[in-house]
Amino acid sequence: MRSRAAIIILVAGVLAAYANAYTAAYQFDDFAAILANPSARSVAGWWSSLPGIRPLLKLSFALTFDLGGGAVAIHATNVVIHGVNAILLWALWRRWVPRLAPSLENDRGVALLGALLFALHPAATEAVTYASGRSIPLAATFMLGAVLADDAARERPSRRALAWTGPALFALALAVRETALVMPLVPLLRAWACDEPLRATLRRLWPYALVLAAALVAVLATPGYHVFFGVSLGTRAPAEQLMGQVLAHAYLATHPLLGITNIDPDLRVPPAWSAPLVASALLLAAAVTAMFASRRRLPWLAFAIGWYFLQLAPANSLLPRLDLANDRHLYLALAGPALALACALARIGERIAARPFVRVVACALCAALAVATSMRNADYRSEVALWQATVRESPRKARAWLNLGYAHRVDGDAARAAAAYRCALALEPANAQAAINLELVSPGDAMPATCPAG
């Protein structure tokens, strides 16, 4: 397929799926991270806040406000970033699919379908439609650009300027979000999956090691990162983190990866190992085993699984976070399963009799994902709508009901706010914030909690 046609299809797909994302309301962390944060409200405020964590991310918001943009401009920028990422991913797959799946006849079609499935998947909405989710897709833009530049430099080793473009983009990715540190491992993963010598790739990656060293110095010199990592390390013990992340990976694979989205999933660290937790661990082990077992016969599958876990590793492995898992952390990891599915459909379609069926399935799948994304975007139209959707998915999580109550309170609906606060207290009687908020909207309230669905 011609490059221009592929880009038009990707852009049209993103615009169609996210047509209702521009008017999304500010949500949840947006108020503290963007609206009440001077470093994100103006370039002058951003400059005075340096050194700080994620400086390039905050600058992106500051520029929007200084140019006179508001919520629509912020959401439109997020959609544009997502569209750029889909194009970058397509460009990367065009280069790599012939090496990862040399037996496939239509490698360009695979590259387009893999990028399109990524672009339309509803799990990406938390990173795109949720304004505060921008750190992940923006970091992905620079990461994908760095990987493409590195691959081009590999082909043209005499181009010194090209050789340093990748490390420069990698540095920008780290300035957006520290989880971008896995970028240099992507070329190694591709070389491993294609059974190429790793030593040559390692030698070529030394500039990225310099960037990582400089980033480490910057982290040590920035007080905000001391607080950031201090809070993280104090969140839970290593054994609890292990059990929690086994559960988190099982959740990500069986919910958002399958299109079941939730901004506040009800995941709790298990008190001990149990049969469901062991089953989750076996599911995780089976995926890792499949990655190694498929390397010789199906390198594209080994690469896709490796990509998935590599992109999830920074947020879902050793370093504890308050929430065990969030849909937005699946953002760039989605590209792995999307590529695997595209390759699998292409293998089936190599049979002449199956080609029409495969084309219909591919088109129907893309359409279904686009519709699901549009429907999920509709939940972001207001705080009330988002938290109504959340309590339907997490009916036994007090924080979801607390946030729904606050949304109703801001909306001027004291009765629904009180009902939501009562549900939060029924689930978590020691929740002081819920008790305070209930007293504010309904003094002396002693009604039983009925926990209506929103």
Amino acid at 420: A
Residue 292 token pair? 């190694």
Distance from chain centroid for Cα 282: 24
Concatenating the DSSP letter of every residue in 280-294 gives HHHHHHHHHHHHHHT
CA 134, 138, 143, 148 torsion: positive or negative? positive
Q: Output DSSP code: residue 35.
A: I
Going residue by residue through the chain, which has 454 residues, state the pLDDT in tens, using 9 for 90 and above.
688 999 999 999 999 999 999 999 999 899 999 999 999 999 999 999 999 899 999 999 999 999 998 999 999 999 999 999 999 999 999 999 999 999 888 889 999 999 999 999 999 999 999 999 999 999 999 999 999 999 998 888 767 777 889 999 999 999 999 999 999 999 999 999 999 989 988 988 999 999 999 999 999 999 988 888 888 888 899 999 999 999 999 999 999 999 999 999 999 999 999 998 999 999 999 999 999 999 999 999 999 999 999 999 999 998 898 899 999 999 999 999 999 999 999 999 887 667 888 899 999 999 999 999 999 999 999 999 999 999 999 999 999 999 999 999 999 999 999 999 999 999 999 999 999 999 998 888 777 777 765 4
CB atoms within 10 A of CB 113: 26
Amino acid at site 136: I
Q: Is the peptide bond before 51 cis (omega within 30 degrees of 0)?
A: yes
> 337 near 304, Cβ under 8 Å?
yes
Buried b (16+ CB within 10 A) or exposed e, 200-213: ebeebbebbeebbe
Left if phi > 0, otherwise alpha if psi is -120 to 50, otherwise beta: which for 348? Answer: alpha
The angle formed by the CA atoms of residues 209, 310 and 400, to the nearest 5 degrees, is 120
Contacts of 381 (CB under 8 A, 6+ apart): 20, 23, 24, 25
Cβ-contact 387, 423 below 8 angstroms? no
State in Å, rounded, how far the first CA of the chain is from the last one: 47
Nearest to 342, CA basis, from 307, 377, 296, 376: 307
Nearest to 434 by CA among 447, 446, 420, 448: 420
- Going 403 to 264 to 327 to 184, the CA torsion angle's sign is positive
Q: Strand, helix or coil at 430?
A: coil
Count of Cβ atoms closer than 10 Å to residue 278 Cβ: 11
Q: Is the pTM of this model over 0.85?
A: yes
